[in-house]
Structure 1
Amino acid sequence: MESADLAACGALLAERHRRHLMVEPLLSVRFCEVGAAVREVTAAFETTDASGAVALRDGVPVGFVLGAPKSSPLWGPNVWVEAAGLAATDGEVMRDLYAMAAARWVGEGRTAHYVLVPAYDAELVRAWFRLGFGQQHAHGVRPAVRTRAGGELNGLTVRRAVRADIRALAELDLELPRHQGASPTFSSGVVSTLEENLAEWEESFADDGFATFVAEVDGDVLGSAIGCALEKSSTHLSLARLDNAGFLGFAAVFPHARGRGAGRALGAAVIDWAVDSGFDSVVTDWRVTNLLASRTWPTLGFTETFLRLHRTVAT
């Protein structure tokens, strides 16, 4: 892929997004404009060590794929194809594109491949499945409409966190990576220490850019959740970043308290906060192998917008 291809690739991306917007109208309309799409492809192309491939039919571009590595050691030697990094007229074109691009990636020793695919396009998703990819993650969105879930549920109360909750919040920060590290997710994420979490909460608790909620029964904190503007997310970028959206960025419940509806109540509290804050929609994401999250968030009305697919090449 070369700089001369960017305009044509941007046009393909704008058309892909236009089709996506017809299915999911909460997405940002601005990326249907070719100039905006070209800027997103250009930014991906200019990412350090980016590479990819373009497919031509009778001299006319009909697809492209563009990926770049991330430096985090959590992902291994990797390449990521983000939301602006692919578009094709049909699935078989995408399979050919990956075949060409992946030869270079694997040759460079980058054997962990990640791709963010529009959830609406079943043909495109199936093309990646037929390349050996499986689904790892989902992005979801719902309108910012009040849940009507206020009050108590089975003795459970949800309220805004206060400074006296800091120790419980720090302990809950440990629970999500612990849960993700267990079966069937087996995530290899780094778990911080309680002391590190306590220090971070003491420093950041007063940050009004984040809304922190806790669920409690008889004064005992069972779980927590955090909401913020989507712009604060480091994973919802480019075409996956909706305009004026709130973000359900974190939720965790202590193991002994699961099954009582605390996670759902906390998620509802963040949604209602987003409504009160004037956001048009609420976004979240989850590991699809996290059985709790992948069942709870869709029941709150979140529908999938993008799927993160993953493949590790054995060499």
Structure 2
Amino acid sequence: MIRFVEFEEQYIPQMASLLATRHQEERQRFPFLQQRFEEVEQAEERLREEMNKAYVGGLVTLRDDDVIGYLLYEYRHDSTRGRTVYVGYPSFVIHEDEHPRLARLMYTEAGAEWIRNGYFEHVMDVPVGNDELILELLEQSFHFEQRFAALPLGLYRAQPGENSLVKVNELPSDEQAALQKMAPWNSLHQAKAPAWKPITQEALDAERDMLSAYEGKEGTRSFVAEQDGVPVAFHLYTPADARHAMTTPDQAAILVQAATNVELRGQGIGKSIANHSFTQMKNAGHEYIMTDWYTANHLASYFWPKLGFRSYIIRMARTVDARIAWADGQ
């Protein structure tokens, strides 16, 4: 007989054991993940970091006195989604011997609270290696939204098909504000078929604010591709912080943003700037490039894996019809 209880401090050691075991299994598929989190002590420290966030709750599943699963969740107010519940990579684990249907039961239990509190946007970052959990969430009306991926630079080989008319230069750190003019290119592309992602002022403002936050940041590098002296693409990189993330390798850089002029795609510009910038980042001592893309962006979903990026996290999302707040048959 299983029972669901609210998270308490006493359950953390057993939760950490579940997380460490899952991480060990994930590393068999993705060896670049941080090995130290296979140790229960490190997994426990990571869980405590999650629980120390401001608006976090938790559900623990017990069989007798044994923890067989847990679900930690964070209440957020997202600038584009609104009231959102977010479940991070280390925050949803069930025992390897349990039936994966347990994931549905736990979501049902915790989700009822989310809906009562008026949170209809549910977002989860799920390990790509956890096929059974992914299937359970798909059957609970979640959908794929975003992929997070890693490229081992030691295995990268320059892609053929560069655009010979393109020249790639690195921007000086005090000139990164020039990226602001190119910031809308990704949004303009994703507004088209088949992504159909609306271009809201809030989204544009958030994109520009994100770029501004990296101006002058130590270690940040940006590369711009030009054709006939006109910018046609850019890449923005920053060093990854591997101190806390289970999924961030040492000596990794994050490709924060990459964009090509919407009117010039398909002309080898993306390969030109990728070949140049990846070489520069490798020469600087980085061993991995980490990035992400929206799954509905069909060009990105084809382009980045073709370059060698391997997805290790899938972000899944569900929007519950808010009318359930009053149209519930009561």
TM-score scaled by structure 2? 0.84
2:171 to 155, 158, 161: 161
CA apart distance, 1:91: 1.7
Matched, 1:218 2:228: yes
What is the alpha-carbon distance in structure 2 between the residues aligned to residue 291 and residue 284 of structure 1? 16
Q: What residue identity is the alignment partner of 2:43?
A: A
Q: Could you tell me whether the CA contact under 8 Å between 2:159 and 2:307 is conserved in 1?
A: no
RMSD over equivalenced CA pairs, Å: 2.8
Shift of 1:9: 0.8
Displacement after TM superposition at 1:186 (Å): 1.2
Aligned match of 2:16 = 10
**Does the aligned pair in 2 maintain the 1:84–1:238 contact within 8 Å?**
no
Identify which range, 30-39 or 206-215, moves more after superposition: 206-215
Aligned-partner Cα distance in 1 for 2:177–2:87: 38
Which shows bigger deviation, 30-39 or 58-67? Answer: 58-67
Query: Does 2:86 correspond to 1:77?
Result: no
Deviation track 1:88-117 (CA, whole Å, cap 9, x = no partner) reads 124211111111111111111111000010
Q: Which amino acid aligns with 2:153?
A: A
Name the aligned partner's letter for residue 226 of structure 1. Answer: L
Normalised by the length of structure 1, the TM-score is 0.88
Give the match's secondary structure for 1:186: coil
Counterpart selection for 1:133 from 119, 122, 142: 142
Give deviations 1:214-239, integer Å, cap 9, x for gaps: 1122222211111121229xxx9632
Task: Name the counterpart of 2:117.
Answer: 108
Letter of the 1:178 partner, please give it.
L
Query: Is it true that 1:186 corresponds to 2:197 in the alignment?
Result: yes
2:204 alignment partner, SS class: coil
Q: Which secondary structure does the structure 1 equivalent of 2:286 belong to?
A: coil
Q: C-alpha offsets along residues 154-209 of structure 1, whole Å, 9 cap, x if unaligned?
A: 42232223589768632211212333344414155521399x78x949x93x5552
CA distance in structure 1 between the partners assigned to 2:91 and 2:106 by the alignment? 12
- Runs (5+) with no aligned partner, structure 1: none
Which runs of no fewer than 5 residues in structure 2 stay unpaired? 1-6, 325-330
- Kindly state the Cα deviation for residue 311 of structure 1 after the two structures are TM-superposed: 0.4
What amino acid does structure 1 have at the position aligned with 2:281? A
Specify whether residues 257 and 151 from structure 1 end up closer, same or farther in structure 2 by C-alpha distance, changes over 3 A only.
closer
Aligned match of 1:41: 47
Query: Using the alignment, how far apart are the partners of 2:184 and 2:40 within structure 1?
Result: 44
> How many aligned residue pairs are there?
308
Q: How much does 1:129 deviate?
A: 0.8
CA contact (8 A) 1:230 1:245 kept: yes
Q: Does structure 2 retain, via aligned residues, the 8 Å contact 1:64–1:86? A: yes
